[in-house]
Chain A
Amino acid sequence: MELSGAEIVVRCLQAEGVEYVFGYPGGAVLFLYDELFKQDKVKHILVRHEQGAIHAADGYSRSTEKVGVALVTSGPGVTNSVTGIATAYMDSIPLVIITGQVPTHAIGQDAFQECDTVGITRPCVKHNFLVKDVKDIAITMKKAFYIATTGRPGPVVVDIPKDVTNHKAEFEYPKSIHMRSYNPVVKGHAGQIKKAVQILTHAKRPMIYTGGGVVLGNAAPELAQLVHTLGFPCTNTLMGLGAYPATDSQFLGMLGMHGTYEANMAMQHCDVLLAIGARFDDRVIGNPKHFFEEPRTIIHIDIDPSSISKRVKVDVPIVGNVREVLQELTKQLQASKDKPDAEALTAWWEQIKLWRERDCLKYDRKAKIIKPQYVIEALYEVTKGDAFVTSDVGQHQMWAAQFYKFTKPRRWINSGGLGTMGFGLPAAMGVQLAHPKATVACVTGEASIQMCIQELSTCKQYHLPIKIVNLNNRYMGMVRQWQEFFHGNRYAESYMDALPDFVKLAESYGHIGMRIEKPGEVADAMKEAFARKKDLVFLDFVTDQTENVFPMVPGGKGLSEMILV
């Protein structure tokens, strides 16, 4: 029997086991919405802005390892989605975004709500397709899911003109797929792994540095086993938090621009560096020239060959699936007669202990005004370290990363690569839908939250009991911090004048709002809010306006050139 293109798309989603589609209807996708309406396997979540749809699908994916799916209309539906797509692309999140397009005969005619979707999204997708024939829909959908999830994951856009969704074709969903031009390497090179074992067992001052690849590659247990087998110190990037338990004694905290003193010093002064699923980006190693002043041997495991030797020349590249490579590496380490140099390790840990004593994350705990760090600590306490925490971008993001001790992967959900303000709330919606019983907190600031505040309405519609932790310092905090440090205290446009009353705002959307002004009220407010299992609570914390994030590696400086508190 022949089915319409729209029905075929929905059948494909069903075949892929898609639970939720996040989207917003419009002219070019009406046939698709009609088919979604006629079935109940794939549930549609109506957002209030397409950017929110992509972030929600993104949060859903980050917290589950499943593909996030979004559906938007042509033209402005697509352009509104671009920030979300670029966010997912920078952090390698597997999404399939179905976009409506004007009818084939109207393409190129500057039709109403037309845009060159494939052209606009090309630089921020792993791949994209324009489907011009209804017969190609099924195979294209199969390819889209395959490409999004294999190799280094990423978003894939499938652009379908309106008439194609109305044409008819026989439907059969392909069981498997082979693409001659796309064959990601999975297994690490045995010879390279052997070389890595040699280098690791002869290291005097070793360091293990891991990134988002360990989270996305579901390799946290393998990482823990490796770190314990070796007895080496371990640090995570912002994207890698939770891949190694932050409560473990071998964990040095996050590294990078706002990383801990001990993590950055160990990174700078190590003689052997094992990098796993990380990409040496500018926020992590600072100035690469300064990084190279200290000689060290670098082993780099990554699924993406182009991430290796991009910013930092690597001695032993190992391309492959992080999980499989770590399994093989640990196996070979355990079988090897060479063992890590215990004496050298003891001395190295002594040095690290001295760095730790610097207590780089200290802050004034007796302050009369609420310190943002304290709010995160209170959040950690009330959620017993077991919440899913999403964040926006800025100071609050860094404090959440520094002070919430993540012990499991996929719990810390933030826009690390693109740094997208407005990400936190819609991402939290995706997380909450994926984990209806779990505690989901969105750590945000009064500037970021206003970038996708409209999603409070979506939260009401679907009864999503997210807890919004708003660190309200009346400034775009990170901008203000840079202006204080590097622009002579000239706070150009970083002051948030005319803020809304967030309590009333939350209430007007049908939620609960709380304003907390004194340090003594923080813990109780948290308890009260998190006890409300069925309600979204907007906690508006009035925090210290002048608090800065420390340590800080200024832009262009080396890792060991931190500004400390």
Chain B
Amino acid sequence: MNLEIEIILAGIRTAIPDAGISLRKNPAPSGQHSLLVNGSNLVEVCQFLHDTLDFDLLSNVTGVDWPVPAKADAVAVPEGEATPASEGFLEVLYHLYSTNRRVGPLVLRARTADRAENAKISSVVSVFRSAEFQEREIFDLYGVIFTGHPDLRRILMWDEFVDFPMRKDYIAPDDYEYEPTPHDAVLEKAKSHYPAQP
């Protein structure tokens, strides 16, 4: 299903002049290009796509961790000169489809300012209900705070868990599981937790 992404981009720019939106080319053979949307205008853009361009199905929401910003620009290539982000960020991708017009996916991407205090993106649940659990999952596994989400709490990990396991710099604890007969790499790790064998 080919999608006239340039036309959509022009449409959004006309309707929302300060959307801060730009086209990102996908170098892979899939040819699924994407639109990078300013995090603060995301809900407005989604509302426009939903109401005016009939993109009624938000199928998939993906979180991505980019500690090295240059890598993100290699996957989603900016057109012309774009200043790369100075520090790593978290990214959320949205795959939209239209059930009536049968086109898609329209890929939107929104980025957080950093990977710490400002890891915030506005929630699109008010436009697309299907994002509810998926945003919770990204909050759970990546630590993106979706402002305006009706019920933002951990979903897959337990409530008391502190870290965000899908981040690239996450270090798995090596005593999360009792190992009655440690072996190989597990044995190496286990040495720090179990008393030495007599």
Report whether chain A binds chain B. Answer: no
